[in-house]
A and B are shown apart, each in its own frame.
Chain A
Amino acid sequence: MTTTAQDPEIRQLEEAARRIRVGIIRSVNQAKAGHLGGPLSAADVLAALYFRVMRIRPDEPDWPDRDRFVLSKGHSSIGLYAALALRGYFPVEELLTFDSLGSRLQGHPDMTRLPGIDMSTGSLGMGISAGIGIALGCRLGGRDARTFVMLGDGECQEGEVWEAAFLAPRYGLDNLVVIVDHNKLQQYGWQGSGPDDRLPPAWPGELVAKWSAFGWRVLEVDGHDMAAVVRVLEAATVGDGRPVAIIANTIKGRGVSFMEGRYQWHTRVLTEDEFATAMADLGEAGTNPTGGAA
């Protein structure tokens, strides 16, 4: 399967990622609360998973043989919700209920409320453990399903991540793929050379070295190069007896000019002007704030 940038399907996936980003901005703007930087950095990988790689049935979200996705970095929920809505799990208009009373779209994913959520998350470090359990259960149950888990790079500071990293190779879980959204920033982190400069959660090369040392098959990718993302995800699902860790090098706030690489946009409420600029950056100029999402 060719997966070059000229591929019409890659173009479609890029468009899906763009629409996910539009959904993120619209929903967070509507809620006047929510995370932005992390969901935006994850959008391309989410598009590749939900629109190409994962074997899923949006009209049968509990299909036992489906591939699973666990958003361990649960604070990027709105990115996942946008992907699920665009993929047909629930109406796209429902994205605008994000964070509001009674909504199925909770601040952090809730599997008891929303179809398509394979595990509730939000307290960091837990999703990878649940992913191991799902992968073990699929194997024990004779199911060919793959389990994808997305971690944040800051999340890798949680001890539980390394408990899980220690265990998965011991069980040879090559039906488990962890994607680290390595966007180089966390909520606050450590100060760098100036007040607005923050040090990355992990040094260059550190995540590759650590996951390799724990016995994982490690792949690295530009997390915003859609053709490369698809290639790496499809390579990851060819098992060799080891679990796979994909280090996706991304940019926090990707796609919105004034958010890219700025830790201040981890969570923040947009002004009207900022919203207009963000929409223009995403190719949606001239839309009003409460217009239907994407």
Chain B
Amino acid sequence: MTLPMGRALRDVFGLTVTELAGHDPRIVMLDADTGSSTKADIFAKAYPDRFFQMGIAEQNMLGVAAGLATTGFVPFVSTFVAFAVVRPLDQIRVLIAQTGLNVKICGGYAGLFTGVTGKTHLIVDDLSIMRAMPGMITVAPGDDVEAEQVLRWAASYNGPVYVRLVRDATQRLFDGKYEFAPGRAVVVRDGGDVSLVSTGTQTPRVVDAADLLAARGIEAHVLHVPTLKPLDVPAIVAAADRTGVVVTVEEGTVIGGLGGAVSETLSEQRPTLVKRIGLQDVYGESASNSELLELYGLSAARVADQVQTFLEARTSAGHASHAE
């Protein structure tokens, strides 16, 4: 009953941007010495004249990208999230977000799967930071199918985009008929007992959690939110209306990211009880992917257990269930 595995998003990144560059001579790739990890090296081999090694100097790299964009090129900036977002944050703010320049910031090694690198490389708050930045479109694809479409869309869109990419293979959420649209959330499972709202490659694990819950008599509605900004407000309100109780699940801090976005939205639009599953204001550590998912409550089994406990506590506290 678990979703099958798909390709790693980093492989999708390297192959897709390289393919796009074949049709669009404006596309260039900037790397901060992580190309063999992020798979920007695929691009480097195919288009060496349009691949710019920036060295281990990320603040400069983001500035160079801004300059290139003013001359009509479309820079894809690639390194780990820690160095693509957090370290050069002021450069992104001043030179890319405030200017609206056509730079694609592709953060690899997002979420918990950072190749056992621990707290320095495991960035818990990239979505919180980027969605708070005026002018920055923020996208966390749910699987390889969606990641490829997000990258194709980003190349065609004129303006700054942050794309969150995952190192290791994750489960496949969508079939070949899926069509990504920026700013659109999608219902990936219908159910009447609780609405689970997720983003990025956490969503497949939430779908698996919904299957586990179904075996226990709880039908979960699952909304996948690939675009954190602009946020699909009507879809989030509709998800709240569907069941009357919302649980957000994200592979990152619950502060300011998806959980924050959903809470902000529903507080204004449709006050609803929201539980936020994710990292509870803590940093990460070195461990295997599966150990980290267990530790932070993000495996399918742990998500299912937390949702069930939450619903039971709510019922025993006297809340009427939506179905009644």
CB distance from A186 to the nearest CB of B (A): 19
Task: State which residues 92-126 of A face B: CB under 8 Å.
Answer: 110-112, 118-123, 125-126
Tell which of B54, B60, B73, B95 touches A119, judged by Cβ atoms closer than 8 Å: B95
1/0 per residue B59-94: CB within 8 Å of A?
111111111111111010000000000000011011
Check B63 against A132 for contact (C-beta < 8 Å). Answer: yes
Q: Is chain B's binding surface mostly helix, strand, loop or mixed?
A: helix
Tell me if A137 counts as interface (CB < 8 A to partner B).
Answer: yes
Which residues of chain B are near A110, meaning CB under 8 Å?
98
1/0 per residue A118-161: CB within 8 Å of B?
11111101111111111111101101000000000000000110
Q: A120-B98, A121-B94, A140-B28 are in contact. Are A132 and B60 (CB under 8 A)?
A: yes
Q: A160-B59, A167-B55 are in contact. Are A136 and B67 (CB under 8 A)?
A: yes
Check A130 against B71 for contact (C-beta < 8 Å). Answer: no
Give the distance in Å from the alpha carbon of A133 to the alpha carbon of B68 in the complex.
Answer: 4
Check B94 against A137 for contact (C-beta < 8 Å). Answer: no
Tell me if A90 counts as interface (CB < 8 A to partner B).
Answer: no
Q: A123-B90, A126-B94, A163-B57 are in contact. Are A136 and B52 (CB under 8 A)?
A: yes
Task: State which residues 33-62 of B face A: CB under 8 Å.
Answer: 49-50, 52, 54-55, 57, 59-62
Tell me if B100 counts as interface (CB < 8 A to partner A).
Answer: yes
Check B66 against A133 for contact (C-beta < 8 Å). Answer: yes
CB distance from A16 to the nearest CB of B (A): 26
Which residues of chain B are near A170, meaning CB under 8 Å?
55
Check B94 against A129 for contact (C-beta < 8 Å). Answer: no
Q: A112-B99, A133-B65 are in contact. Are A123 and B71 (CB under 8 A)?
A: no
Check A129 against B99 for contact (C-beta < 8 Å). Answer: no
CB distance from A168 to the nearest CB of B (A): 10
Tell me if A294 counts as interface (CB < 8 A to partner B).
Answer: no
Tell me if A166 counts as interface (CB < 8 A to partner B).
Answer: yes
Q: A129-B91, A134-B67, A134-B70 are in contact. Are A112 and B100 (CB under 8 A)?
A: yes
Tell which of A64, A68, A123, A136 touches B64, judged by Cβ atoms closer than 8 Å: A136
Check B98 against A130 for contact (C-beta < 8 Å). Answer: no
Q: Name which residue of chain B comes closest to A126, CB basis.
A: B63
Which residues of chain B are near A122, meaning CB under 8 Å?
94
Check B57 against A132 for contact (C-beta < 8 Å). Answer: no
CB distance from B66 to the nearest CB of A (A): 5
Check B95 against A167 for contact (C-beta < 8 Å). Answer: no
Q: Name which residue of chain A comes closest to B64, CB basis.
A: A133
Check A119 against B90 for contact (C-beta < 8 Å). Answer: no
Which residues of chain B are near A143, meaning CB under 8 Å?
71
Give the distance in Å from the alpha carbon of A159 to the alpha carbon of B73 in the complex.
Answer: 26
Tell me if A269 counts as interface (CB < 8 A to partner B).
Answer: no
Tell me if A164 counts as interface (CB < 8 A to partner B).
Answer: yes
Give the distance in Å from the alpha carbon of A72 to the alpha carbon of B100 in the complex.
Answer: 18
Which residues of chain B are near A130, meaning CB under 8 Å?
63-64, 66-67, 70, 95
Q: Name which residue of chain B comes closest to A111, CB basis.
A: B99
Check B95 against A126 for contact (C-beta < 8 Å). Answer: yes
Check B50 against A140 for contact (C-beta < 8 Å). Answer: yes
Tell which of A120, A136, A138, A167 touches B94, judged by Cβ atoms closer than 8 Å: A120
Q: Name which residue of chain B comes closest to A123, CB basis.
A: B94
Check B70 against A118 for contact (C-beta < 8 Å). Answer: yes
Which residues of chain B are near A131, meaning CB under 8 Å?
67
* Chain B residues proximal to chain A, CB less than 8 Å: 28, 49-50, 52, 54-55, 57, 59-73, 75, 90-91, 93-95, 98-100
Q: A159-B59, A164-B60 are in contact. List 6 more A-B contacts (CB 8 A).
A: A123-B94, A129-B59, A133-B66, A137-B69, A140-B73, A166-B57
* Chain A residues proximal to chain B, CB less than 8 Å: 64, 68, 70, 110-112, 118-123, 125-138, 140-141, 143, 159-160, 163-164, 166-167, 170-171
A-B contact pairs, 25 of them (CB 8 A): A111-B99, A112-B100, A119-B95, A120-B99, A123-B90, A123-B94, A125-B59, A126-B90, A129-B59, A129-B60, A129-B61, A129-B62, A129-B67, A130-B66, A132-B60, A133-B64, A133-B71, A135-B67, A136-B52, A138-B71, A140-B49, A164-B60, A167-B54, A167-B60, A171-B52
